[in-house]
């Protein structure tokens, strides 16, 4: 993020705020700042804190919808959710999730990884909290990568994974990303697979993929890599979607309403895969169905690149 504000200036501003880390791996709560009225250097301080803590919480902001959308725009171009319609406001970029008994995102995920360019970050405002429950958790994908053993890190460095939007009833929306993503601003490596959208490790056979992907997506949720946030109304949260996952606790009765704006994405960068995609050898069998989706996607990609050559 080029801002024209030095790291020193941004650091001096953040030093005047009350910044409390919430967990060992990620997360900070920040008081003493009004997000609706940030000058350029204060905004740069927020950006620097986001790179450091991965998810930031600003209680007692109570932004109007316009202020919320304006604040989001400062991070980049906003986009509407590709698969969820939002009937609630005149801003097509703002979407609202309202739930009374669950019906929330209670599977670990990084937003929109089924797209070639998943969201960079999101800004969420908690509008209405249930009396108890409905906390959200985030996990650091840096910590999840760093704490793998060296052999598994090296294996993951050379793999890619297929993601799809089956949870949004659009299994045909698919893409392939590196399993280890290099953050474009920090240069750090993040373990970039999630339970919700990641379907298959491309270079492994179906059963190998099932075991390793199952392991990695569970590993990410190790409590040591996470922070859990108890909401109050009017709190703004900003998370870096390039190096985190999140999960909503489905343990509440009563209304829970959040509003979110989403900053358009970039293409995840990582090392090129070290091996060719898995192609099932030999004759068809009853188990061929496990390779169908991957084979279909690879054929479609090949047809696409033939057309553009």
Ligand X SMILES: O=C(O)CCC(=O)C(=O)O
- Told to judge if 81 belongs to the known catalytic residues of this protein, a careful annotator would answer no
Q: Show Cβ contacts of residue 265 under 8 Å, excluding neighbours closer than 6 positions.
A: 112, 115, 117, 118, 119, 120, 241
Q: Does 97 bind ligand X (CB under 6 A)?
A: yes
Q: Does 56 bind ligand X (CB under 6 A)?
A: no
CB of 198 to ligand X, least distance (A): 16
Residue 47 or 122 having the CB closest to ligand X:
122
Question: From the CB of residue 247, how many other CB atoms can be counted at a distance below 10 Å?
Answer: 22
- Told to judge if 246 belongs to the known catalytic residues of this protein, a careful annotator would answer yes
CB of 125 to Fe ion, least distance (A): 14
CB of 220 to Fe ion, least distance (A): 14
- Please count the residues of the chain: 309
The one segment of 62-70, 104-112, 199-207, 212-220 that binds ligand X by CB under 6 A? 104-112
Q: What is the 3-state secondary structure (H, E, C) of the chain?
A: CCCCCCHHHHHHHHCCCEEEECCCCCCEEEECCCHHHCCHHHHHHHHHHHHHHCEEEECCCCCCHHHHHHHHHCCCCEECCCCCCCCCCCCCCCEEEEECCCCCCCCCECCCCCCCCCCCEEEEEEEECCCCCCCEEEEEHHHHHHCCCHHHHHHHHCCEEEEEEHHHCEEEEEEEEECEEECCCCCCEEECCCCCCEEEECCCCHHHHHHHHHHHHHHCCCHHHEEEECCCCCCEEEEECCCEEEEECCCCCCCEEEEEEEECCCCCECCCCCCCCCCCCCCCCHHHHHHHHHHHHHHHHHHHHHHHC
Q: Does 248 bind ligand X (CB under 6 A)?
A: yes
Question: Residue from 13, 258, 261, 294 that binds ligand X (CB under 6 A)?
Answer: 258
50 binds, among ligand X, Fe ion, none (CB under 5 to 8 A by kind): none
- Told to judge if 260 belongs to the known catalytic residues of this protein, a careful annotator would answer yes
Q: Closest by alpha carbon to 267, among 187, 175, 189, 157?
A: 175
Site residues (CB under 5 A) for Fe ion, limited to 255-284:
none
The one segment of 49-57, 107-115, 155-163, 287-295 that binds Fe ion by CB under 5 A? 107-115
Q: Does 246 bind ligand X (CB under 6 A)?
A: yes
Strand order in the sheet with 170-178: 170-178, 160-165, 198-201
CB of 80 to Fe ion, least distance (A): 15
Task: Give me the catalytic one of 53, 81, 109, 183.
Answer: 109
Question: From the CB of residue 79, how many other CB atoms can be counted at a distance below 10 Å?
Answer: 16
* Residues that contact ligand X, how many (by CB under 6 A): 11
Residue 228 or 280 having the CB closest to ligand X:
228
Q: Does 249 bind ligand X (CB under 6 A)?
A: no
Question: Residue from 26, 42, 63, 104 that binds ligand X (CB under 6 A)?
Answer: 104
Residue 115 or 297 having the CB closest to Fe ion:
115
Task: Give me the catalytic one of 163, 260, 291, 297.
Answer: 260
97 binds, among Fe ion, ligand X, none (CB under 5 to 8 A by kind): ligand X
Q: Does 111 bind Fe ion (CB under 5 A)?
A: yes
CB of 292 to ligand X, least distance (A): 29
Binding site for Fe ion (CB under 5 A): 105, 111
Interacting residue ranges for ligand X, rule: CB under 6 A: 97, 104-105, 111, 122, 124, 136, 246, 248, 258, 260
Q: Which residues are catalytic?
A: 109, 111, 246, 260
């Amino acid at each position: 993020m080029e801002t024209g504000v030095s790291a020193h200036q941004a650091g001096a501003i953040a030093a005047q705020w009350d910044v409390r880390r919430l967990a060992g791996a990620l997360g900070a709560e920040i008081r003493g700042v009004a997000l609706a009225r940030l000058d350029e250097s204060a905004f740069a301080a927020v950006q620097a804190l986001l790179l450091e803590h991965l998810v930031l919480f600003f209680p007692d902001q109570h932004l109007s919808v316009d202020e919320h959308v304006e604040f989001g725009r400062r991070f980049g171009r906003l986009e509407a959710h590709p698969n969820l319609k939002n009937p609630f406001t005149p801003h097509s970029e703002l979407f609202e999730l309202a739930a009374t008994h669950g019906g929330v995102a209670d599977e670990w995920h990084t937003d929109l990884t089924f797209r070639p360019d998943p969201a960079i970050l999101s800004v969420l405002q908690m509008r209405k909290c249930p009396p108890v429950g409905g906390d959200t958790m985030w996990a650091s994908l840096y910590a999840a990568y760093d704490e793998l053993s060296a052999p598994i890190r090296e294996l993951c460095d050379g793999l890619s994974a297929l993601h799809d939007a089956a949870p949004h009833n659009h299994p045909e929306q698919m893409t392939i990303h590196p399993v280890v993503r290099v953050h474009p601003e920090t240069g750090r490596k993040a373990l970039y697979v999630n339970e919700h959208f990641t379907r298959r490790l491309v270079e492994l056979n179906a059963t190998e993929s099932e075991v390793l992907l199952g392991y990695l997506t569970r590993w990410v949720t190790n409590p040591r890599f996470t922070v859990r946030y108890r909401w109050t109304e009017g709190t703004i949260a900003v998370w870096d979607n390039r190096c985190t996952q999140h999960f909503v606790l489905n343990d509440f009765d009563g209304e829970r309403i959040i509003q979110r704006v989403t900053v358009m994405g970039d293409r995840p960068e990582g090392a090129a895969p070290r091996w060719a995609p898995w192609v099932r050898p030999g004759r068809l069998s009853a188990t061929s169905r496990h390779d169908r989706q991957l084979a279909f996607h690879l054929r479609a990609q090949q047809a696409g690149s033939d057309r553009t050559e």
